[in-house]
């Protein structure tokens, strides 16, 4: 069998998770990651990284969406339980989601039966935080901190023989002429690279603060969240549809600070480490499919894996495993030519 040559475009959580899975699946393949942004420059780095898929996350069918989520959970759980878990930035954590108005906000049909504990909060627990909380749930889940995960993934990929190149890709088709398969993990970049207007940004802004006494996560009515990672606690948030603004907004910052310190007053004494803004690459349906193009009589094979919106850290492994299957299909049809 000739040596398989794959290009993965994108160095966020989707690109790296896909590239590592491809290295597992095709041990002798030449795999190269190409990207114009790495580590803290990516959207992935702004994420708190909590495993909690929301209702706007969508695959082609309910069954496939659930499979991606389940595969992802088991992947992160397995990594968490290995000796590399902490280095890779994966940990288990528990906490509460409260709502003052709607019972559905504290439910999560995707993970209620998947995570070790997902139960209604008791009346005492509803009093844990100031506010008029009528509904609540307690659950245990996982968190992947991308500021640890991405450097860990870079090292693992290079040690496995992978190659990383800093470059902006202007055309998938032109690039594809030099590879057997191109895997497109460009997140919001796919809007331009594929002229895909279904990909839209949902702007988010967060604080990263030092507050080592916060061990439990809290969500207040979904829009306000306090998520303790390894080094910092992420305070958020906002979701602004079709905003491309990558600058820090002072009013968002004040609103986030006010809401988070109202929910957990001890945060008023936290040291602010950083503020981050990111554009979540939302698509009505994640694009995970094969595309075959004919360029001047030559076949170019592309596997798309983008559009994970606000849930890319959660669902990176499940979608990456699916992308590997698509690469295998693309490669076997290639070999039959």
Residue in 19, 185, 159, 16 with CA at minimum distance from that of residue 89: 16
Cβ at position 201, least distance to ligand FAD in Å: 9
Q: Are 6 and 22 in contact (CB under 8 A)?
A: yes
Total interface residues for ligand FAD by CB under 6 A:
42
Find the binder of ligand FAD among 95, 220, 310, 317 (CB under 6 A). 310
Find the binder of ligand FAD among 7, 169, 233, 326 (CB under 6 A). 169
Stretch that binds ligand FAD, among 13-21, 121-129, 287-295, 323-331 (CB under 6 A): 13-21
Cβ at position 227, least distance to ligand FAD in Å: 7
Residue in 151, 245, 175 with CA at minimum distance from that of residue 205: 245
Q: Are 122 and 143 in contact (CB under 8 A)?
A: no
Q: Residues 30 to 69: which contact ligand FAD by CB under 6 A?
A: 34-37, 42-44, 46-50
Cβ at position 269, least distance to ligand FAD in Å: 23
Stretch that binds ligand FAD, among 58-66, 180-188, 262-270, 286-294 (CB under 6 A): 180-188
Q: For residue 63, give both structure tokens.
A: 């069954």
Angle between helices 62-81 and 312-335 (to 10 degrees): 110
**Rule CB under 6 A: is residue 237 a binding residue for ligand FAD?**
yes
Task: List own/partner pairs for 252-257 with CB under 8 A and 24 or more apart.
Answer: 252/205, 253/205, 253/207, 256/205, 256/206, 256/207, 256/224, 257/207
**Rule CB under 6 A: is residue 108 a binding residue for ligand FAD?**
no
Question: What x/- string results for residues 85 through 104 when contact with ligand FAD is judged by CB under 6 A?
Answer: --------------------
Q: Where is 271: in which H helix or E strand?
A: strand 271-295
Residue in 54, 158, 144, 128 with CA at minimum distance from that of residue 93: 144
Q: Residue for token digits 């959970």?
A: 73
Nearer to ligand FAD, 211 or 279 (CB): 279
Spatial distance between the Cα atoms of 198 and 203, rounded to a whole number of angstroms: 16
Find the binder of ligand FAD among 105, 114, 193, 200 (CB under 6 A). 193
**Rule CB under 6 A: is residue 280 a binding residue for ligand FAD?**
yes
Spatial distance between the Cα atoms of 143 and 151, rounded to a whole number of angstroms: 16
Nearer to ligand FAD, 9 or 128 (CB): 9
Binding positions for ligand FAD, rule: CB under 6 A:
9-15, 34-37, 42-44, 46-50, 168-169, 185-189, 193, 204, 206, 236-237, 278, 280-281, 306, 308-314
């Amino acid at each position: 069998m000739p040596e398989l040559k794959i290009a993965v475009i994108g160095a966020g959580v989707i690109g790296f998770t896909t590239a590592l899975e491809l290295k597992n699946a095709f041990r002798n393949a030449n795999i190269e990651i190409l990207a114009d942004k790495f580590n803290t420059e990516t959207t992935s780095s702004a994420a708190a990284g909590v495993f909690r898929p929301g209702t706007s996350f969508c695959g082609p069918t309910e069954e496939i969406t659930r499979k991606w989520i389940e595969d992802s959970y088991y992947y992160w759980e397995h990594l968490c339980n290995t000796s590399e878990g902490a280095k890779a930035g994966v940990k288990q954590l528990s906490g509460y989601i409260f709502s003052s108005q709607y019972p559905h906000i504290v439910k999560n049909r995707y993970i209620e039966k998947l995570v070790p504990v997902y139960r209604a909060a008791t009346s005492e627990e509803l009093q844990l935080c100031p506010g008029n909380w009528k509904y609540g749930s307690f659950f245990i889940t996982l968190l992947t901190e991308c500021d640890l995960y991405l450097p860990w993934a870079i090292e693992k990929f290079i040690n496995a023989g992978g190659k990383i190149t800093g470059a902006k890709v202007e055309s998938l088709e032109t690039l594809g002429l030099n590879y057997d398969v191109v895997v497109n993990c460009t997140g919001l970049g796919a809007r331009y690279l594929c002229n895909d207007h279904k990909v839209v940004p949902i702007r988010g802004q967060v604080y990263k603060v030092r507050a080592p006494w916060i061990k439990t996560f809290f969500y207040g009515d979904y829009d306000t969240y306090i998520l303790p990672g390894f080094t910092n606690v992420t305070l958020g948030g906002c979701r602004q549809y079709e905003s491309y603004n990558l600058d820090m907004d002072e009013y968002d910052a004040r609103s986030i600070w006010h809401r988070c310190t109202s929910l957990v007053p001890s945060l008023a004494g936290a040291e602010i480490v950083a503020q981050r803004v990111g554009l979540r690459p939302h698509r009505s349906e994640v694009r995970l499919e094969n595309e075959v193009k004919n360029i001047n009589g030559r076949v170019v094979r592309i596997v798309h894996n983008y559009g994970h919106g606000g849930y890319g850290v959660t669902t990176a492994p499940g979608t990456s495993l699916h992308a590997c299957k698509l690469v295998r299909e693309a490669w076997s049809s290639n070999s039959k030519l």
